[in-house]
């Protein structure tokens, strides 16, 4: 079964009308987002074509060095973007990088050992990109929620410390809530798969001509690996980040 539909350059250009619609709505509603929408669409186009050429080269060489190198670059870029949400948290960049790298590595290793994936560029890189991206978003949510919780529950934490609790004990409820916040979107998405909408990867595979039941299997793997990577990344992030809110005397930083 192969029903692959190639998109011509003309069709792609005509599809940009969709961006113009978005810019028009922004203009009519005085949102002043026309420039941002245009730049975002332009950047996306340039970046996607650039990565397309890079992937074409890597796929042709199948070099493990290039595969690992590209995944490493993705992890660093994801860590940088997620750390922006953690302004005020020391070492947020390194915490993000460590959490993303460990979470993605464990998940990919399990997928490779179980035979779900082969160590080839066309399998490992797209899958790695998906789980790294998911971890990036979840870590950003964790940082924002952690900063908010420590600010709103400062008195609660200080009372627990005054009563003899360790920083870990005083932060336990906050850490639990933060991990839950990071995981919740992925859990909610998993609950509605196939009911509210067809997931992106499954839709892409079907459009590429893969039988629906085979596409479903791949989507199930994507769901499982997303839950795994994001859980690990959120756990590591929170366990490392909460410590930065306390000084060497186990007092809450102000």
Shared domain for 122 and 19, answered yes or no, is: no
Same domain, 67 and 57: no
Residue 4 pLDDT more than 90?
no
Whether residue 228 lies inside any domain: the answer is yes
Give tens-digit pLDDT for 52-95: 898 888 888 778 998 999 999 999 999 999 999 998 899 999 99
| Residue finishing a domain among 61, 84, 99 | 61
Q: What is the pLDDT of residue 245?
A: 93
Calpha distance 252→156 (Å, rounded): 11
The span from the CA of 135 to the CA of 101, in Å, is: 10
Whether residues 102 and 196 share a domain: the answer is yes
| Residues above pLDDT 70, as percent of the chain | 96
82 and 179 both lie in a single domain:
yes
Pair 14, 72 in one domain: no
- Yes or no: say if 94 and 248 are a contact pair by the CB < 8 Å rule: no
| Helices within 192-211 (DSSP H only) | 200-207
Domain closes at, from 14, 30, 61: 61
More confident position, 7 or 236: 236
Q: How many independent structural domains does the chain possess?
A: 2
| Residue 254 falls inside a structural domain | no
Kindly state the average pLDDT of the residues 126-132. 92
Q: Which domain holds residue 185?
A: 63-245
Residue 136 lies in a domain: yes
Mean pLDDT (the chain, rounded): 90
Verify that 46 and 163 share a domain, yes or no: no
Same domain, 93 and 181: yes
CA 243 to chain centre: 23
The DSSP secondary-structure symbol of 89 reads S
- pLDDT classification of 197: cutoffs 50, 70, 90: low
The residue from 61, 79, 98 where one domain ends is 61
Report which of residues 218 and 230 the model is more confident about.
230
Gap between the Cα atoms of 206 and 101, Å rounded: 30
Examine the domain organization and report whether 14 and 103 are in the same domain: no
Mean pLDDT of 34-39: 94
pLDDT digits (tens, 9 = 90+) for 221-252: 989 999 999 999 999 999 999 999 998 888 88
- Res 209: pLDDT: 77
In a domain, 229, yes or no: yes
Average pLDDT of the segment spanning 23-31: 93
- Residue 107, domain member (yes or no): yes
pLDDT of residue 198: 66
Backbone phi, psi, residue 162, to 5°: -65, -30
Question: CA 59, 228, 64: angle at the middle one, nearest 5?
Answer: 25
């Amino acid at each position: 079964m192969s029903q692959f539909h190639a998109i011509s350059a003309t069709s792609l250009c005509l599809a940009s009308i969709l961006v113009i619609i978005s810019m028009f709505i922004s203009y009519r509603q005085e949102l002043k987002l026309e420039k941002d929408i245009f730049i975002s669409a332009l950047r996306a186009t340039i970046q996607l074509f650039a990565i397309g050429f890079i992937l074409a080269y890597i796929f042709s060489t199948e070099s493990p060095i290039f595969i690992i190198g590209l995944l490493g670059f993705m992890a660093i870029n994801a860590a940088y973007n997620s750390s922006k949400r953690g302004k005020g948290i020391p070492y947020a960049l390194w915490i993000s990088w460590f959490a993303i790298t460990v979470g993605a590595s464990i998940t990919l290793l399990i997928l490779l050992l179980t035979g779900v994936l082969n160590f080839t560029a066309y399998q490992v890189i797209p899958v790695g990109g998906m789980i790294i991206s998911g971890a990036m978003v979840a870590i950003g949510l964790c940082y924002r929620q952690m900063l908010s919780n420590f600010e709103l529950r400062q008195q609660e934490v200080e009372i627990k410390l005054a009563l003899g609790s360790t920083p870990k004990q005083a932060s336990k409820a906050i850490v639990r809530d933060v991990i839950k916040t990071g995981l919740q979107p992925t859990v909610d998405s998993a609950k509605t798969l196939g009911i509210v909408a067809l997931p992106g990867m499954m839709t892409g595979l079907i459009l590429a001509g893969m039988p629906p039941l085979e596409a479903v299997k791949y989507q199930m793997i994507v769901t499982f690996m997303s839950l795994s990577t994001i859980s690990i990344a959120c756990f590591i992030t929170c366990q490392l980040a909460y410590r930065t809110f306390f000084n060497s005397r186990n007092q809450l930083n102000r």
